[in-house]
């Protein structure tokens, strides 16, 4: 079995199984634990509504913090949007998703894919540089760096494979798929679960504050 | 002793001009990346060559490789050379039959011990009764023929990597030649069929320079298999622009757009099709509108459907993923319920 056969066969399959099982395990494992409703009378009758609104309103820092956080906010947006586009809008990825789900949609031209991947990687580097230069702010753990590497690898190998540079294409493609497999398997058990948690945690804070009448 | 014709005699008798022959030699020399000036030397040496002894063994194969070499319209130098070298023993082409044929092989092996080449097309079944010639199993014949051979050249993907006979479920337990012969230099010239020029190029180099070409990690001559077809494909600009044919008769197909979505395997295939082309440089599969099958790569028949793109995952359907979702959900909910109970229990104890 060649490396590519291993990567796009058992490796990616196993990682997807871990990803799906892991996401459900973590989601239910935490959501089933939630406390019952707060029985006290809410100070704000629109508490629930405001709670849900927080999911969106917290997508940008409050004006007081804009200046201090502008760098990482912008970089994080650039990173998340370009990564998302690369994941769902380049043709090889669409082909993979189609083979799994039967769904398909038009893709972006490859040169735009390369540009987006480069932007994603550059913004990820910009973010780690800030983390490294502000240890006191971030209080990083080893896990943060491991996560950064696991996220950066598929971008790097994907760009190299896509642009046909580095090792032979089939090897780069295999490494790319393997790095994605690593990301999939790691995702549910790491901070990357914020892809799901952000909705619940924002809503939860919004609800709690609104219930107590805090202006949000 | 009867006069043995040289290759030059053969060419002259077939009316091949010296000019055409020199052209063939310089193409071959430049493809093999041999230094300038080698072409003339190669032409001299080749035309002086007397028939080298070549034993051509055909095992589990479809004869397509032989066909590719011999059935071109005009008598090309490739097939003249092929006729010239393959007179001792070739299952399909030799005049002799039955025991006489087997004697010819044994005699050639004895007379040219240490000097002859063994060319093989077809894979070798480990269930030996699945393929025999004159009552001799393929494996036994291969081992016997290779004992005193100078080198082995695998013609086609079946002898090089197993090819179609090895495709799942491999009912004959077929293996490529390299699994059986370990102590001889082996050159793989894969393809289904291989490019005629690649076959003759390897042989011409061996006949004139007495050495085998530089090989890649899969035992293929770098000169012919060093380049990725996708890197050489004239449809590559459409790939880069994201213009793909979606079906074989849509507008994209008519405009000659990239065939990636229609299953073209060229991005993971190394062969000379895109620059040497087939039928004396007329065309090649992608040019005629069909994606590459990856025929010069190991395991090409099991690389997924012909029309499945390179990016497709190779693990069947998503059933297991659905099961994983259910299992994960059950496990997560179960763990949470247990944790709640435990917490309630602790509360009770605290209260009591
Ligand atoms: S047709 Fe095949 S080889 Fe040519 S550019 Fe498209 S994918 Fe590459
Ligand atoms: S284009 Fe691909 S499948 Fe066709 S002959 Fe060349 S290597 Fe084989």
Q: Could you tell me the CATH number of the domain that includes residue A161?
A: 1.20.950
Q: Which of B188, B204, B223 is the endpoint of a domain?
A: B223
- How far is Cα B140 from Cα B35, in angstroms, rounded to an integer? 41
Q: Contacts of residue B299 in chain A, CB cutoff 8 Å?
A: 2, 5
Of all residues in chain A, what percent carry a pLDDT higher than 70? Answer: 99
Where on the phi/psi map is residue A75: left (φ > 0), alpha (ψ -120 to 50), or beta?
A: alpha
Instruction: Please give the tally of structural domains in chain B.
Output: 2
Determine the average pLDDT of the residues in A172-197: 95
Q: Give residue B233's Cα distance to chain centre.
A: 19
Q: Please indicate whether, in this complex, the C-beta atoms of B267 and A17 are within 8 angstroms of each other.
A: no
CA torsion, ordered B191, B197, B203, B205, to nearest 10 deg = -120
Q: Which of B177, B205, B223 is the endpoint of a domain?
A: B223
Q: Specify if B248 maps to a domain.
A: yes
Q: Specify if A170 maps to a domain.
A: yes
**Do B208 and B239 lie in a common domain?**
no
Question: Measured from the CB, is residue B296 less than 6 Å from ligand 2?
Answer: yes
- Residue B1, pLDDT score: 38
Q: Which of B196, B223, B250 is the endpoint of a domain?
A: B223
Q: Fill in the DSSP letter of residue A39.
A: -
Q: Specify if A131 maps to a domain.
A: yes
Of A51 and B193, more confident: B193
* pLDDT, averaged across chain A: 89
Q: Which residues of B touch A (CB under 8 A)?
A: 228, 230-231, 239-242, 244, 260-261, 267-268, 298-299, 303, 308-315, 318, 320-321, 324-329, 331-333, 335-337, 339-340
Task: With beta carbons less than 8 A apart as the criterion, state whether A145 and A126 touch.
Answer: no
Integer angstrom CA distances of residue A112 from A97, A162, B96, B304: 19, 11, 63, 28
> Token pair of B291, please?
């994606």
- How far is Cα B215 from Cα A116, in angstroms, rounded to an integer? 38
Determine the average pLDDT of the residues in A92-114: 90
Candidate from B228, B244, B299 with C-beta closest to A91: B244
Question: Measured from the CB, is residue B278 less than 6 Å from ligand 2?
Answer: no
Among all residues of chain B, which has the CA nearest to that of A171? B268
Strand partners of residue B244: B258
Q: Specify if A216 maps to a domain.
A: no
Strand partners of residue B119: B56, B153
Task: With beta carbons less than 8 A apart as the criterion, state whether B154 and B188 touch.
Answer: yes
Determine the average pLDDT of the residues in A140-153: 94
Query: Which one, of B300, B290, B302, lies nearest residue B270 by Cα?
Result: B300
**Do B254 and B234 lie in a common domain?**
yes
Q: Please indicate whether, in this complex, the C-beta atoms of B310 and A173 are within 8 angstroms of each other.
A: yes
Q: Specify if B196 maps to a domain.
A: yes
Query: Which one, of B137, B126, B144, B131, lies nearest residue B184 by Cα?
Result: B144
- Residue B76, pLDDT score: 67
**Do B81 and B215 lie in a common domain?**
yes
Q: Specify if B261 maps to a domain.
A: yes
- Residue B68, pLDDT score: 78
- Residue B93, pLDDT score: 67
- Burial string for B151-172 (b: 16+ CB within 10 Å, else e) reads bbbbbbbbbbbbbbbbeeebeb
**Do B236 and B202 lie in a common domain?**
no
- pLDDT for B305-343, tens place per residue? 889 888 888 777 778 888 888 888 888 888 888 888 887
**Do B68 and B145 lie in a common domain?**
yes
Q: How far is B81 from chain A (nearest CA, A)?
A: 34
**Do B81 and B210 lie in a common domain?**
yes
Q: Please indicate whether, in this complex, the C-beta atoms of A33 and B336 are within 8 angstroms of each other.
A: yes
Among all residues of chain A, which has the CA nearest to that of B263? A95
**Do B210 and B238 lie in a common domain?**
no
Query: Which one, of B92, B159, B81, lies nearest residue B119 by Cα?
Result: B159
Q: Please indicate whether, in this complex, the C-beta atoms of A100 and B318 are within 8 angstroms of each other.
A: yes
- How far is Cα B210 from Cα B203, in angstroms, rounded to an integer? 10
- Residue B74, pLDDT score: 53
- Residue A191, pLDDT score: 92
Q: Contacts of residue A25 in chain B, CB cutoff 8 Å?
A: 328-329, 331-332, 335
**Do B144 and B75 lie in a common domain?**
yes
Among all residues of chain A, which has the CA nearest to that of B303? A5
- How far is Cα B192 from Cα B163, in angstroms, rounded to an integer? 8
Instruction: Please give the tally of structural domains in chain A.
Output: 1
pLDDT class of A210 with cuts at 50, 70, 90: confident
- How far is Cα A89 from Cα B260, in angstroms, rounded to an integer? 16
Q: Specify if A32 maps to a domain.
A: yes
How far is ligand 1, taken at its centre, from the CA of residue B197, in Å?
Answer: 23
Query: Which one, of B247, B193, B241, B200, lies nearest residue B221 by Cα?
Result: B200
pLDDT above 60 (res A131): yes
- Residue B88, pLDDT score: 64
- Residue B95, pLDDT score: 66
Q: Specify if A35 maps to a domain.
A: yes
- Residue A176: give the domain boundaries: 3-211
Residues of chain B with pLDDT under 70: 1-4, 36, 50-52, 71-80, 82-89, 91-93, 95-96, 351-352
Determine the average pLDDT of the residues in A91-107: 90
- How far is Cα A19 from Cα B134, in angstroms, rounded to an integer? 57
- Residue B144: give the domain boundaries: 50-223
Q: Specify if B82 maps to a domain.
A: yes
Mutate which of B227, B234, B235, B296 for ligand 1 pocket (most atoms within 8 A of beta carbon)? B235
Integer angstrom CA distances of residue A141 from A148, A195, B279: 11, 20, 63
């Amino acid at each position: 079995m060649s490396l590519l056969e291993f990567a796009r066969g058992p490796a990616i399959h196993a990682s997807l199984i871990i990803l799906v099982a892991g996401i459900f395990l973590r989601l239910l494992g935490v959501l089933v634990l939630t406390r019952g409703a707060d029985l006290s009378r809410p100070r704000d009758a629109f508490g629930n509504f405001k709670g849900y609104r927080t999911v969106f309103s917290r997508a940008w820092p409050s004006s007081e913090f804009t200046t201090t956080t502008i760098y990482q906010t912008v970089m994080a947006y650039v990173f998340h949007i370009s990564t998302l586009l690369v994941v769902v809008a380049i043709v090889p990825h669409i082909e993979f998703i189609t083979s799994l789900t039967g769904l398909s949609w038009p893709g972006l031209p490859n040169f735009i894919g390369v540009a987006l991947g480069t932007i994603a990687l550059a913004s990820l580097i910009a973010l780690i540089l800030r983390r490294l230069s502000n240890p006191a702010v971030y209080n990083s753990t080893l896990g943060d760096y491991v996560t950064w590497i696991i996220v950066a690898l598929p971008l790097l190998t994907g760009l190299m494979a896509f642009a046909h540079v580095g090792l032979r294409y089939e090897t780069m493609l295999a490494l790319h798929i393997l790095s994605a497999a690593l990301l999939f398997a790691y995702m549910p058990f790491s901070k990357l679960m914020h892809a799901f948690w952000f909705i619940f945690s924002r809503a939860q804070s919004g609800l709690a504050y609104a219930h107590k009448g805090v202006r949000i | 002793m009867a006069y043995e014709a040289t290759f030059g005699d053969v060419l002259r008798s077939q009316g091949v001009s010296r000019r055409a022959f020199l052209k063939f030699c310089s193409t071959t020399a430049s493809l093999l990346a041999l230094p300038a000036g080698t072409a003339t030397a190669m032409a001299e040496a080749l035309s002086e060559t007397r028939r080298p002894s070549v034993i051509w063994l055909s095992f589990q194969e479809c004869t397509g490789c032989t066909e590719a070499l011999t059935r071109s319209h005009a008598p090309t130098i490739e097939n003249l050379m092929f006729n010239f070298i393959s007179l001792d023993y070739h299952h399909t082409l030799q005049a002799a039959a039955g025991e006489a044929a087997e004697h010819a092989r044994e005699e050639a092996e004895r007379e040219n011990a240490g000097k002859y080449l063994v060319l093989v097309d077809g894979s070798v079944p480990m269930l030996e009764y699945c393929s025999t010639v004159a009552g001799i199993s393929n494996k036994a014949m291969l081992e016997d023929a290779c004992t005193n051979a100078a080198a082995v050249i695998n013609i086609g993907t079946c002898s090089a990597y197993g090819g179609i006979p090895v495709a799942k479920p491999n009912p004959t337990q077929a293996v490529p030649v390299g699994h059986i012969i370990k102590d001889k230099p082996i050159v793989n010239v894969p393809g289904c069929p291989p490019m005629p020029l690649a076959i003759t190029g390897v042989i011409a180099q061996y006949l004139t320079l007495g050495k085998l070409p530089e090989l890649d990690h899969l035992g293929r001559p770098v000169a012919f298999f060093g380049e990725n077809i996708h890197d050489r494909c004239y449809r590559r600009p459409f790939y880069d622009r994201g213009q793909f044919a979606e079906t074989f008769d849509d507008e994209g197909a008519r405009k000659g757009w990239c065939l990636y979505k229609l299953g073209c395997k060229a991005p993971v295939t190394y062969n000379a099709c895109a620059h040497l082309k087939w039928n004396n440089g007329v065309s090649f599969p992608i040019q005629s509108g069909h994606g590459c099958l990856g025929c010069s790569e190991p395991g090409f028949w099991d690389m997924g459907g012909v029309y499945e793109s390179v990016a497709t995952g190779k693990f069947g359907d998503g059933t297991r993923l659905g099961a994983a979702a259910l299992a994960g959900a059950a496990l997560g909910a179960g763990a949470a319920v247990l944790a709640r109970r435990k917490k309630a229990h602790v509360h009770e104890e605290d209260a009591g």
